[in-house]
Amino acid sequence: MQSITTSTYAVHFNQRAYDALNVHLSNKAYSKIFILVDENTHEHCLPSFMGQIQGDYNFEIIEIESGEENKNIDTCTGVWEALSELDGDRKSLVINLGGGVLTDLGGFVASTFKRGIDFINIPTTLLSMVDASVGGKTGVDLGPLKNQIGVINQPEMVLIVTSFLKTLEERQLRSGFAEMLKHGLIQNKAYWEALKEVTNFLYIDDLIYDSVVIKNEVVLQDPTEQHLRKILNYGHTLGHAIESYFLESKTHKTLLHGEAIGIGMILEAYLSKELLGLSDTELADIKSTFLSLYEKVSFSKEDITTILSLLKFDKKNSHGNINFVLISAIGKPDIDIIIPDELYENAFAYYAEQ
């Protein structure tokens, strides 16, 4: 597969990815190379990764605990301290080998260590391949508030090695697939239709490639999220609030990111029908597609009240308004839509109905 060029770096795929990395390492003469892993990528991805490195470099492995609940400043402090103790300097490199939690956190740690050192992202989950590989967003959560702390900063390169997907559980793959479906909904109906045909998430290299292309085109047109880039938040305004709520809740099981934004996309499709005239047929198509992939969740009245109160912390807000991305048809987004309060409960009711 061809490499994809973003604003400042390239996304390379599979064997080409390792080739590009080997060239980069031999050109750059880093003083030290840190590989950030979690317990899963340490065991399942690091050995095959190391087998592809040509040349003799000064590697140090730093392991963090996996999981969104560890995507916080305390974990960053642990990594900053490890970098200091292992003599990391301004000419060191950090390679982030893991899912979105790890690449977001590792990108933030590298961007702020000694006011910024080079980093390379190697997303190992489907979600992070199609979502975190372009855009330069880095960051961590502050309590229940997702990505509240972070910076926009670009990696030296992103490497997508699709064989890492074999190390994932089916539920993880399914979760990542939700972001690909989102790319269809906001940009390309034909792509949405193609995704609906997928039966095995391990044979979708071309569709992964297309997703990165779609996201890259959006980000290139609006790198600082003034207007067009906001469309990537489709499903995320309510989805993030739902994800945060389930993460903190003692009685609900945790939802994966894709599962939460899948619900968000159904709810926001309902709002799209009410406010932008999305057709009943497309609304029903969206609902049935997500419900065929992701188990339905039940929300009590209290759940809904708390989720709506979390909404006001969403970082896309300004001046107290909550700005939604909605779609007037599949592939046709519109931004900065304000939702009348009484519609939220109807959206949850639509999600719940048979």
Tell me which long-range contacts 197-200 makes (C-beta under 8 A, separation of at least 24): none
Q: For a second copy, give the closer residue by CB, 3 or 323.
A: 323
Q: Minimum CB separation from a second copy for residue 128, in Å?
A: 18
Asked if residues 158 and 16 have their Cβ atoms less than 8 Å apart, the reply is no
State yes or no: residue 309 binds a second copy (CB under 8 A): no
Answer for which of 23, 50, 151, 284 binds a second copy (CB under 8 A) is 151
Answer for which of 12, 42, 137, 257 binds a second copy (CB under 8 A) is 137
Q: Minimum CB separation from a second copy for residue 204, in Å?
A: 30
Tell me how crowded residue 34 is: count the other CB atoms within 10 A of its CB: 26
Answer for which of 27, 56, 115, 170 binds a second copy (CB under 8 A) is 115
Answer for which of 53, 86, 142, 329 binds a second copy (CB under 8 A) is 142
Q: Minimum CB separation from a second copy for residue 83, in Å?
A: 9
State yes or no: residue 312 binds a second copy (CB under 8 A): yes
State yes or no: residue 107 binds a second copy (CB under 8 A): no
Interface of this chain with a second copy, residues 254 to 293, rule: CB under 8 A? none
State yes or no: residue 145 binds a second copy (CB under 8 A): yes
Q: How many Cα atoms occupy the beta-carbon half-sphere of 131 within 13 Å?
A: 27
State yes or no: residue 148 binds a second copy (CB under 8 A): yes
Q: For a second copy, give the closer residue by CB, 84 or 300.
A: 84
Distance CA 197, CA 156 (A): 35
State yes or no: residue 150 binds a second copy (CB under 8 A): yes
State yes or no: residue 69 binds a second copy (CB under 8 A): no
Which secondary-structure segment (H or E) carries 4?
A: strand 4-5
DSSP 8-state code for residue 231:
G
Answer for which of 100, 106, 107, 139 binds a second copy (CB under 8 A) is 139
Q: For a second copy, give the closer residue by CB, 145 or 329.
A: 145
Interacting residues of 175 by C-beta distance below 8 A, sequence separation 6+: 126, 127, 256, 257, 258, 259
Q: For a second copy, give the closer residue by CB, 69 or 345.
A: 69
Question: CA 170, 176, 182 angle in degrees (round to 5)?
Answer: 140
Asked if residues 147 and 121 have their Cβ atoms less than 8 Å apart, the reply is no
Question: What backbone torsions phi and psi does residue 329 show, to the nearest 5 degrees?
Answer: -160, 165
State yes or no: residue 228 binds a second copy (CB under 8 A): no
Copy the structure tokens of residue 137.
Answer: 């967003």
State yes or no: residue 28 binds a second copy (CB under 8 A): no
Number of residues that bind a second copy (CB under 8 A): 38
Q: Minimum CB separation from a second copy for residue 190, in Å?
A: 33
State yes or no: residue 26 binds a second copy (CB under 8 A): no
Answer for which of 149, 194, 291, 343 binds a second copy (CB under 8 A) is 149
- Nearest alpha-carbon partner for 168 in 131, 138, 209, 123: 123
Answer for which of 78, 247, 285, 313 binds a second copy (CB under 8 A) is 313
Q: For a second copy, give the closer residue by CB, 18 or 313.
A: 313
Full DSSP string of 318-342: BTTB-EEEEEEETTEEEEEEEPPTT
State yes or no: residue 15 binds a second copy (CB under 8 A): no
Strand 323-329 and strand 332-338: pairing?
Answer: antiparallel
State yes or no: residue 113 binds a second copy (CB under 8 A): yes
Q: Which residues pair with 321 in a beta bridge?
A: 318
- Three-state DSSP class for 122? strand
Tell me how crowded residue 8 is: count the other CB atoms within 10 A of its CB: 12
Distance CA 170, CA 57 (A): 35
**Which residues would be at the binding site for a second copy (CB under 8 A)?**
31, 73, 76-77, 80-81, 84, 87, 89-91, 108, 111-116, 137-139, 142-143, 145, 147-152, 312-313, 315-320
